[in-house]
Amino acid sequence: MKLPVSSMPKVTIVKDSPTTKHVVVVPISNKKCVIKDQAKYLKQLDLDVFSGSNLIKIDSKQSLFFVDYQKKDEQVDTDIKKLGFSISSSIKKFDTVVFENFDELLSFLSTAASASEDYVRGDALISSPQERAMELLLYGIYFGAYEFDNYLTEKAEIAKKFLLVTSTLDVGCKNVVKKMTNYSKALWFERDLVNVSPSTSTPKWCSDHSATFLKEAGFSAQILEAPALKQKKYEGIIAVGKGSSQPPSYLIAKYKHKSAKKHVVLIGKGVTFDTGGVNIKPDGGKNMKGDMSGASTVVALGAYLAMNKEKVNLTLYVPFVENHINGLAYRPDDIIEYKNGLSVEVHNTDAEGRMILADALIDGSKAKPDLIIDMATLTGASHVAVGGEASTFYTNRKEMAKRVNESSATSTELSVELPLIKSYNALLKTDHADVKHTGGRYGGSITAALFLQKFVDKDIPWVHFDLSSAFQASSSGIHKAGATGEGLLLGSKLIESL
């Protein structure tokens, strides 16, 4: 199986509408056509009963897709994304979707986008309202077009081409189309990697496919497996991986740009399936194939930045393991001695993510980068704190918190800062080791972040994203069931802002 396995559409700028069979998008707002030349189509539609979208056939070559754009000032960005999502997710059995007079639609949407609260908050990262509107619309289109149907007998019949008819689009907007095309490639890879059956997505399988994807984007990559992990004393990765018949695999990848002024380390938690280990999960691990979403996101993020030839050097440290149960599995009361000299007492084997991240953070700190970013589905406590539509983040630098907040606004991927409360370090004290790896039920997300911080060089800016509340979804809003790709666009905005 080669990733991505899902069919990917293509967005193209053209000067004229095609002569082949296609669907024309007719956006409506306040019962009027957004594009003036499309007013003739309204006679096809009863606006008094119309709500949402309608597909109306005209002849053998052209059909009309009416879509209602309801502008709400307090959620303009979401509305534009939903518009794109509605178009791509609703139109089936047509190969080509056409946006006539696209510049007129873009002008309408950019007027709305320029007034949004998120545009104002993140204006340092966006050069124009037109580019903002273009990005949001394409974001919605790509999310709506994604279908993971690899195991279904009946395949989804999504549109393969989205044509933007215009001869006046500026260079900035054309660049957005190119970047969002690369974004879609990264997004498809991230979601497919997580959505594949966990009996397929073993640690080695994930490392191999991730390395291939990164190499295609311009990275060099190496994979460390059992003998090398033991020789180099990656004790956390080894401990968690012992309980599975599928051995752990550690991906290290590097991208260098000749004009780079910054070096960023990306670290992702890659637990390909999590039973909880000896402290087995009550439900046996349902949906825990998604516990590698941190890893899949940083791999996709690195590839996306490389495809865009971002002027930054990147190093990825991505440990993949399966947390399973057998006679060799690590257990509560085990003491793990890391190669930075810190000893860690295990209190709950279902808190395995921080054990493998510790090894990667030690490596990341040795690389002396300008910034370390780690992403992980780390704690249920994060989910409890902020609900299902946001991630949480922690950082050791106030300036970095400001950058993350701006990047969250411009990406529309909501992330909420939680505090690193120093006094909570007392909750990680234990009698027979330097530290224990869990701090109890209350403040669990905070104590998990404090544990990770112990493996980060204090002189290096660091951001930890806990994706537990946003890494996967049921079919709702602009998400299809399964992996969401949350953190990909947010992470790219953050790195672009450096």
- Dihedral of CA atoms 155, 301, 438, 227 in degrees, nearest 10, equals 90
Asked whether 88 and 104 are in contact (CB, 8 A), the reply is no
Q: Which stretches does DSSP call E strand in 36-120?
A: 53-57, 62-68, 96-99
Number of other CB atoms surrounding residue 51 within 10 Å:
8
Catalytic annotation, pick one of 81, 185, 242, 354: 354
Number of other CB atoms surrounding residue 465 within 10 Å:
30
Known catalytic residue: 191?
Answer: no
- Dihedral of CA atoms 221, 224, 225, 228 in degrees, nearest 10, equals 150
CA distance 265 to 451: 19
| Closest residue by Cα to residue 312 from 176, 464, 496, 187 | 496
The DSSP bridge partners found for residue 321 are 271
Q: Which amino acid is at 52?
A: G
CA distance 455 to 236: 12
Asked whether 101 and 35 are in contact (CB, 8 A), the reply is yes
Per-state percent for the chain, helix, strand, coil, to nearest 5: 40, 20, 40
Using the Cα atoms of residue 380, residue 381, residue 382 and residue 386 in order, give the sign of their dihedral. positive
> Measured between alpha carbons, how far apart are the two ends of the chain, in Å?
37
Q: What are phi and psi of 80, to 5 degrees?
A: -65, -40
CA atoms within 13 A on the CB side of 345: 13
Q: Which residues contact 448 (CB under 8 A, 6 or more apart)?
A: 351, 354, 378, 379, 381, 438, 439, 466
CA distance 110 to 136: 10
Known catalytic residue: 281?
Answer: yes
Catalytic annotation, pick one of 256, 281, 311, 331: 281
Q: Which amino acid is at 64?
A: L
- Residues assigned a catalytic role: 281, 354
